[in-house]
Structure 1
């Protein structure tokens, strides 16, 4: 989706009011423009010609509308050309003859190299729009893409009605084609049954079946698991799991499904048959896929709970056993010291004390946990019974599936024991328990082994379900094998990677030699020491010299900026960036819709719900806010609005002092929530249930990527995903270095990141991870020998190189997210060739990074600065979102993404507003001769919020900005003018 440079593309008239920023950025006259205008036109025609020129350049459309021109543009044109211009004017007052207007437009088109659209252009546009319509989510998106397509090819954008008619016909054509595919794929009886049954009353819940299916899962309790399984069972009875509709992109399937979610059931019956079929089918299919993922996640959480409880029971049992053992030893010690009793009496008493002591050798803690887990057989059996209904598939001879099949057979036959001689493919850790003489206990052990093995198999991709999004067959997540063979060279060229591992390893080895030598020099200089524990140590970074002036200057700066109301800030930033037009895919039609959109953004991005926001905004209805909250869940819109705001913030020169936009940090922030959300986890620091919001913060302070995550899980996948998706939208190379904490990296993650074109730079916590891993043939300086481990297998990297390249290319192309990829090929996939290659390569890259981290203090300071900058942005986010996520909110995936995206957008609005105010204030000070060094500004940031009032009555200053933000054409059509 085009960024800020496309803000005015496709408009056919100017707003009545315009900001100075927009005039100078989008409607500027260059020196060559002025020379051409002055040479070609007489003095009284120059202003009109210049306005036609700058409008054509900004919009790609001729200016024909006779409405009033913005006085800011008139004043700017007059000042640049040195000609008098009226403060109030329109094309009608500037052009008395239509022929003159037409001549000026022809000249402007020729000067800019624009061609009028012809039959060939229409044909090319139509073909391109048909292709784009297969992925665009709404007709408005399709039209905006078409305008940008014409603009980039320097083709004059035609009249809005002609373009809209073409868009409507192509959109209808695509919908007809999809409906035809549905009718050819799905039997008519299934379609008719699905259409009829969704409007019936559900027996248990008392609502319609459609509303019952819309209800998202709650906590990961047995009741929720049973209800989720009932919904999956119902959808499979309709045949939804057999519908082969993968030809339609998943995001487009979601967009059609969301139309049903947003409608009241009574309105669905009013749709025409084809539209209802389209939306219902994709609603049922997407619901099945998401419910399957939810069920597998809930059962995974349930298994984790059972293992955790077994661990706690084992720990308590072992503590009691240790206390009992100590008491027996003390009693024996006392008996030994009792001289008045005979030796025989004392031995007899000692024998009594040791009589019930088990004779078998002590087990390891893990073995004790497994034994305790088998005692929880009722809950494990209930969970297995639920999972039996799912159509699991897996690799040939997958142990967990064979165990599940055997357990199912035994349950169906009513057996309560595991028959002797059963062929059970159990791992060595479970073997003793399954081969136990107590055959009931053996069956319980088999059930526990099956449930834990099934969870591991799903995570590593050796077990899968076809009607799932995240737990599909691993090869289905990647580029198909035949396609990879045909397009391998193209993907490698895009990634700038060699086809063989040797070329990459040789280059990496040369870098390692240089960095190891530099680290040895740092050791000789005393900046690094090797401790007796065999690990690298370094002293703390020295604080930069300061005399307090930067802090005093910062305080003076924000005092000069003054206080601000949140509503004023939002509207001003909208006027400067046009983010509301991105969220709606068009300009707001009236003031009520615009204010309701702001209310929806606040309701998603803060702890305040729609009803409370409506109470804070006079004359606003909560239902209208709720409707627009659903609109904000449309995929991609919040992300594109955030990009607009970040682009605006980065236009200010002060941001160049903070960074170049090629470095960032990423970390998660916890939002408190109810334990009744099935993805809520206990925050390890605050011990409260929470969800995570993972953000990527640029060195220029803006948040460029966000995603909700589950706490207490490795974050390397989401860290990589954020960089990949951000870089896809950049022409300047994007991010080259990402700083993360220990949770944000793994060895596999470091390898994948490097192959994708950027460096993952972790701040390590564990001393054990400070070893330098090298291949055997690569020698290190003698003094570094204590911290070097020659454990890297270059053969493993070579053997898994092609599979690793295929994985990276699949992530780059967007076929699979880095989050899912690192789950399937991460530590759960130990033994896999791709995992082993990535793990060995990642350890080599970590060695390269540690050499820089220990030997280069400035590099280390930069990494810490970036991470601290991210923490300051998290503080601002907590000021915006002060409460907790309500129990009834965030259960749906799209809603949680909207909450994360809205919070990010509100945070970026504050950062951009502060940046703009800082730039204006600094420029004014310097014009007055007041000294302020760039070095001081470099150490200040825009994540300040003490001067902003986020709460209270929200009064949006519509009178200042509505002429810039509202769709003037729609207003004139509504009034009949």
Structure 2
């Protein structure tokens, strides 16, 4: 059983002394006067020193290894110096096993520790069962069990005994899982679950495979496919499954197993193991598919709008060209009209002779065309009305939308549109709301109504309704019950009573006063201090930050530092000294130091790791991170493709990659040489664009970077040059929306307190959010001298106190508004997720 979880080398490590750090050395191997008195009773020097090692090792490890003389030399030396003994005195200790055991029991009694007996094992079983309901990894459960025993001051039993307890807990967790969902597994549902694993003749695959296969592009067909999945899931009651009796981690684990196992593998599992997996998969799929339907609706509708916008640019360009022709015509007409020597009666004849009638008529026709406020954007989008009708009615029929008071007219319009689609009625009722229609599009409705064109009115009103729905979903004004991504934003906010209990702790964590009357004066003092520094810099007038003749702020670009020739020569010499190490060898060496490959755990909880697993993992990582791919890697290294594909499917996923990266970053952070680059408190982020092959709902067309389509990876890097966060985002999205994600989700040891971005990562909201969570945003903003700056008082006061810097603050901040919204009691709520 033990070797199925840990290798022989790992088992030996769990039974012996590990390496010890400076902090542990001081914490556990420092004797008190009472300790020294207790140890002196063992009399002989070897027994005194041996007992001292056991006395220190028990609180440190939770057990004492059999080979007491093999304790870390630094620890033995520290104890020997405190006791006035020689390190060599420990050499003969423990030759008689009974002596060592007797000493351990005396030491345990002195420290208040106890051996693991029936009651302790019963409590351990209960603890492990509770943890096994959340985590299925045997190695993790083993470590949690060790921590529990140490906190309870129970001497850890043997490794094999504890692993058997872990195995028992995992089996009990499976039985408990089935027992908690048994009331949902009535015969008809159990039969429906098993039906998911049968090949459907129409789909030519199992329903399970159909459900877990996501869309690859935004199109009416994809929307229809996801809506069909949603209806199927609702037919099985997946949207109403209550699995709250299972911990969230257990549900996530079971659903992950269901997504990765084939239908054939699930059929081979016993019903009490198979059915909970399928239940959790259905429940999660109902949420995921609902999110997918709404997301595809957004993307498909936006794609039509984008194509209309591109067409509009072409139309406007053509119109501009015609305008140039009319201007050229005007240049020919004006000299004739301005010539007083030409009789009035001869002007018309002269112009018609000089300029052809066809040219005049064409210019006149172009002049009579008047564009609406949006220059015809909605009219061009109306050309895609038939295309949009292929998916929009399906979405409205399958999804229910809700919103706040401001979204009430839109929600009412959606109900009317849903009714029109269901009954086949063409005309929009006269009382249909239009308050949500933007001013630039209202003219379309007014013109259609004036002409009595019910068809045009229906088209424009429906398009305005659908676009308002899309924008409402993006802003959160409209939400989808039962969704995760498009859920009600209020669900993530503290209620007033909850905020009352959290206010003091939150303000303490972020260093902010809960009282605006105390906080705002501090902000004003901070601004005055910054303006004083700026005034001094501008007063010199000769630096990179200065005022021009017009009183505008000028910030010169930073120049590159000159690198001495000696430094470049040294760099070249050092580079020649470094060996050319293959990347595979480098990864093997890094794993020897860090064991980061152990972070890649089996998605199904399988713990048996073949001797070739690390080799296969390295091959997969190299193949997936380069242009080789798994096929190319298989051809290069000789490992069969199916082996690499299986390894990648079960071991390489987002959470294991993140865990391995955390392991690497933490090791890099604690290296002495790393501190020469930076302290790890400063980080920066930027996006990189990569072209994609095939189809993906994340990829977008961007002429500047891609021939066809591509994605962006938004990367966070510390001042120690370690990448602690990477996120794949849509290439056309604003990067500022993702700046805080990896900083708040930073699970490494890097103490990030300040962050830098480029202009694309900056918004006023980000400045406020960074301040809210107690961190500093220090962006590099393009054209910084041209942005609007705010003051906190009268213009004359600032110009008097800061003659040069004061006039730059052209706007006044509304401090009354800030104070009014400072706390939830006056109108604001705080996000639950903010630390």
Question: 1:826 is matched with which residue?
Answer: none
2:736 maps to which residue?
716
- The C-alpha deviation readout for 1:897-926, integer Å capped at 9, x for no partner, is xxxxxxxxxxxxxxxxxxxxxxxxxxxxxx
Q: Mean Cα displacement is larger for which, 291-300 or 336-345?
A: 336-345
1:602 aligns with 2:622: yes
Contact 1:714-1:745 at 8 Å conserved across structures: no
Structure 2 partner of 1:342 = 346
Question: 1:260 Cα shift?
Answer: 1.4
CA shift for structure 1 position 235: 1.3
**Bigger shift: residues 303-312 or 343-352:** 343-352
| CA distance, structure 1, for counterparts of residue 224 and residue 483 of structure 2 | 18
Measured in 1, the distance between the counterparts of 2:110 and 2:745 equals 37
Using the TM superposition, give the Cα deviation of residue 337 of structure 1 relative to its aligned residue in structure 2, in angstroms. Answer: 5.9
Q: Alpha carbons of 1:126 and 1:737: their partners in 2 closer, same or farther (altered >3 Å)?
A: farther
Listed one character per residue, the Cα deviations across residues 399-439 of structure 1 (whole Å, up to 9, x for unaligned) are 43333323233333334444556443333232111222333
Query: What's the counterpart of residue 582 of structure 1?
Result: 599
The reply on whether 1:632 has 2:651 as its aligned counterpart is yes
- Match in the other structure for 2:513: 498
Structure 2 SS opposite 1:783: coil
Q: Name the residue aligned to 1:352.
A: 361
| 1:656 Cα offset (Å) | 1.5
- Ranges in structure 2 where 5+ consecutive residues have no aligned partner: 1-5, 81-85, 337-341
In the alignment, structure 1 residue 798 sits paired with structure 2 residue 819 = yes
| Preserved contact between residue 136 and residue 170 of structure 2 (Cα < 8 Å) | no
| Alignment-derived partner of residue 484 in structure 1 | 499
Say whether 1:725 aligns with 2:734.
no
Aligned partners of 1:532, 1:197: CA distance in 2, in Å? 80
Contact 1:529 1:537 in 2 (8 A): yes
CA shift for structure 1 position 236: 1.8
> Is structure 2 residue 482 aligned with structure 1 residue 464?
no
Separation (CA, whole Å) in 2 of partners of 1:145 and 1:122: 14
CA contact (8 A) 1:771 1:789 kept: yes
Q: Say yes or no: does 1:681 pair with 2:689.
A: no
1:737 aligns to 2:754 (yes or no) = yes
The TM-score with structure 2 as length reference comes to 0.82
Question: Deviations 1:552-601 (Å, cap 9, x if unpaired)?
Answer: 33333343332212222212211211223333389874412332333343
Instruction: Decide whether aligned partners of structure 1 residues 488 and 74 sit closer, same or farther in structure 2, where only a CA change above 3 A counts.
Output: closer
Aligned to 2:390: 382
Q: 1:584 to 1:120 in 2, by over 3 A?
A: same
Tell whether the 8 Å contact from 2:239 to 2:283 is kept in structure 1 after alignment: yes
- Cα distance, 1:685–1:323 mapped onto 2, change above 3 Å: closer
State the secondary structure of the residue aligned to 1:811. Answer: coil
Distance 1:344 1:545, change over 3 A: closer
**Cα deviation code 1:156-193 (max 9, x no counterpart):** 33333444454455555555555455445x47366235
Tell me by how many angstroms 1:610 deviates: 3.7
Shift of 1:278: 1.3
Query: Offset at 1:206?
Result: 0.7
Alpha-carbon distance in structure 1 between the residues aligned to 2:502 and 2:128: 25
The match for 1:517 is 532
Aligned mates of 1:646, 1:661 — CA distance in 2: 10
Q: How far apart, in 2, do the equivalents of 1:256 and 1:46 lie?
A: 53
Does the Cα contact within 8 Å between 2:116 and 2:155 map onto a contact in 1? yes
Which residue in 1 is equivalent to 2:777?
760
User: Does 1:695 pair with 2:695?
Assistant: no
Structure 1 residues 74 and 523, CA, compared in 2 at 3 Å: closer, same or farther?
closer
The 2-side partners of 1:776 and 1:203 are apart by 74
- In structure 1, what is the Cα distance between the partners aligned to 2:55 and 2:567? 45
Are the counterparts in 1 of residues 689 and 705 from structure 2 also a CA contact under 8 Å?
Answer: no
Q: CA deviation at 1:543?
A: 4.5
Tell me what 1:852 maps to. none
Shift of 1:252: 3.8
Kindly state the Cα deviation for residue 363 of structure 1 after the two structures are TM-superposed.
3.7
Once the two structures are TM-superposed, the CA of residue 808 in structure 1 deviates from its matched residue by 5.3
For each residue in 1:710-761, what CA deviation from the matched residue of structure 2 results, as whole angstroms up to 9, or x when unmatched? 22222334321211222x665x8x2110111222232112211211111122
1:597–1:669 CA distance, 2 compared to 1 (3 A): same
* Structure 1 counterpart of 2:684: 665
For the structure 1 residues 276 and 289, does the alpha-carbon distance in structure 2 shift closer, same or farther, using more than 3 Å as the test?
same
Q: 1:280 to 1:295 in 2, by over 3 A?
A: same
Verify the 8 A CA contact 1:419 1:439 in the aligned structure 2.
no
Q: 2: CA distance between counterparts of 1:299 and 1:369?
A: 20
- Once residues 149 and 734 of structure 2 are traced to their aligned partners in structure 1, the CA distance between those partners, rounded to angstroms, is 44
Q: Secondary structure at the match of 2:671?
A: coil
What is the distance in 2 between the residues matched to 1:196 and 1:277? 8
> SS in structure 2 opposite 1:681?
coil
Unaligned runs of 5+ in 1: 1-6, 814-977
Deviation of the 1:522 alpha carbon: 0.9
Inter-CA distance 352–539: structure 2 relative to 1 (3 Å threshold):
closer
Matched residue, 1:296:
294
Verify: 1:433 aligned to 2:444, yes or no: yes
Number of residues paired by the alignment? 789
CA distance in 2, matches of 1:645, 1:114: 36
Rounded to whole Å, the distance in 2 between the matches of 1:639 and 1:705 is 8
2:724 corresponds, among 674, 690, 704, to 704
User: Structure 1 pair 594/711, CA: closer, same or farther in 2 (3 Å)?
Assistant: same
Shift of 1:119: 7.2
Distance in structure 1 (CA, Å) of the matches to 2:265 and 2:576: 54
Q: Is the 8 A contact 1:12 1:59 kept in 2?
A: no
CA separation of 1:792/1:634 partners in 2, compared to 1, >3 Å: closer, same or farther?
A: same
CA distance in structure 2 between the aligned counterparts of 1:134 and 1:801, rounded to whole angstroms: 42
How has the CA–CA distance of structure 1 residues 683 and 555 changed in structure 2, closer, same or farther, with 3 Å as cutoff?
A: farther
1:134 deviates by: 5.1
Within a 5 Å distance, the mapping from 1:253-332 to structure 2 comes to 253-332=251-330
| Native 8 Å contact 2:507 2:514 kept in 1 | yes
Distance 1:32 1:260, change over 3 A: closer
CA 1:34 to 1:678, structure 2 compared with 1: closer, same or farther past 3 Å? closer
CA distance in 2, matches of 1:411, 1:802: 45
Secondary structure of 1:245's counterpart equals: coil
Kindly indicate whether the alpha-carbon contact (under 8 Å) linking 2:53 and 2:79 is maintained by their aligned counterparts in 1.
no
Query: Paired residue for 1:474, among 472, 489, 494?
Result: 489
